[in-house]
Structure 1
Amino acid sequence: MNRKSLLFCALLIGVPGSVQAQGYPGGGWDRPMMNQRLRGDDGRRMAEPAKKVDVEAFRAADAATLLGKGPITVAAAPGAEAEWKLPVYEAAVVDQLAKLGYDTAVSGAEGGQVAQIGITHDVVVPEEVKRKPVSGAMEVGVSNRGSYSALALNVDLSKPRKAIVSTRLDVRIRDKASGRVLWEGHAEAQTREDDDGLNNGAVAARLASALFARFEDAAEVPPVG
């Protein structure tokens, strides 16, 4: 016996016998008394993450000849989120810096530059609340053809969908000796949180790739003073 048959039998046990014998309003006697719907959701339009990656990048007007070469180290920006959220983003940024021509293999070098990383997360759409797997409504009435009973059943076996989260990657490249900002930018995108949480390597790679695609054509910022 399949699932639909089991559900039908269970409903007949719990519904008065008159349900099987009475007519259905507006139709013949052979019309079904039960409207059973098997759905994957409760009928609401579910929000989906925006596909676009928003990017902004800025470069010091006199820094063009200094960028994209020499040793560079990567570190968390002051006030950045907990360290456990940074490793996959650090790896993605290091990969992009190496492609640009930086020497990322040098660790602890006194000179050169430093790329400071910051990660922030904001919930755009909260996680769905857990829904009842079975719900329904019963209607009893009287028409010119006699009394009737009708039952509508909704079976929802789907899991609540995870939250949609906006993740922003900020990178600021400074000259180590002077502390001067040579380049900075950020990339932001929406994703649905998965079972691995927010420490997602695919998200990190997507943001870093989009951000450093703007490395050379970043808007120039005139020197202060």
Structure 2
Amino acid sequence: MKALSAFSLVAIPLALCACTTTRPAGPVEVTRFVASEAVGQLGDARLMVETAPGSPEQGLALTPFKAAVARELGAYGYIENSRAVAQQLASVSVERTQMTAGDRRGPVSVGAGGSTGRYGSGLGVGVGLNLGGGPDERVITRMSVSIRDVTSGAVLWEGRARLDAPAKSPLATAEGAADALADAMFRGFPGNNGETIEVEVNP
């Protein structure tokens, strides 16, 4: 009987520890589509980065994501310019959702607005995210980007990236999520049509 009592006293704190363990962030899940006519057109061009119509995040909330996209594409020869002289447009859409254990979000079709693919995405907006939550609270950040040719209007490339991070992680902030998502999305740009990759991130 004493042995059972001792085991119970030890098991209770162990169980409590298991319940409060925070699952780490990532990896970033990335899906990319490349149009057949995009060969030779991606990179080394004047580019304007804009907010995609219908993006849940708007205004200043989208600023770190647009800046991260411009920075990553700059490594492939893109030079950010005004719309008046841009040869291609990169449209950025972002949504951020805070979730607790047991929350579920059904998939919907979203789009940086093109014909090259359809993406699944959860519902939710990022206004007023509480980043001081408990260990079971997480922030899901999704970013979609499409690159269009200004002259023809054709969608040359589309990408979608998703990051799941603990609410208290630096990756749950807009700046942290923007850097991680853009780095993963444009790694090995343009990638292969229809491919899905996973990129590990630091917690």
1:75 partner letter:
E
Q: TM-score normalised to the size of structure 2?
A: 0.65
Give the drift of 1:214. 4.1
Q: How does 1:94-113 map to 2 (within 5 A)?
A: 94-104=70-80, 106-113=81-88
SS of the aligned residue for 2:75 comes to helix
SS of the aligned residue for 2:44 comes to coil
SS of the aligned residue for 1:188 comes to strand
What 5-or-longer segments of structure 1 have no aligned partner? Answer: 1-25, 28-34, 128-158, 221-225
In structure 1, C-alpha distance between the alignment counterparts of 2:153 and 2:173, rounded to whole Å: 29
In structure 1, C-alpha distance between the alignment counterparts of 2:23 and 2:52, rounded to whole Å: 31
SS of the aligned residue for 2:191 comes to coil
Q: TM-score normalised to the size of structure 1?
A: 0.59
Alignment correspondent of 2:68: 92
1:58 partner letter:
F
In structure 2, C-alpha distance between the alignment counterparts of 1:174 and 1:112, rounded to whole Å: 9
- Gap change, CA 1:200 and 1:85, over 3 Å in 2: same
2:150 partner letter:
K
Alignment correspondent of 2:117: none
What 5-or-longer segments of structure 2 have no aligned partner? Answer: 3-8, 103-132, 195-203
Higher strand share: 1
Higher helix share: 2
Check whether the contact 2:28–2:161 (CA below 8 A) recurs between aligned residues.
yes
Pair 1:73 & 2:85 matched: no
Pair 1:119 & 2:111 matched: no
Report the aligned-residue RMSD.
Answer: 3.3
Give the drift of 1:178. 2.2
Q: How does 1:1-225 map to 2 (within 5 A)?
A: 42-45=16-19, 46-81=21-56, 82-104=58-80, 106-126=81-101, 160-161=134-135, 163-194=137-168, 199-219=173-193
- Gap change, CA 1:79 and 1:73, over 3 Å in 2: same
- Gap change, CA 1:160 and 1:53, over 3 Å in 2: closer
Larger-Rg structure = 1
SS of the aligned residue for 2:134 comes to coil
2:79 partner letter:
D
Check whether the contact 1:74–1:114 (CA below 8 A) recurs between aligned residues.
yes
Give the drift of 1:195. 8.5
2:73 partner letter:
L
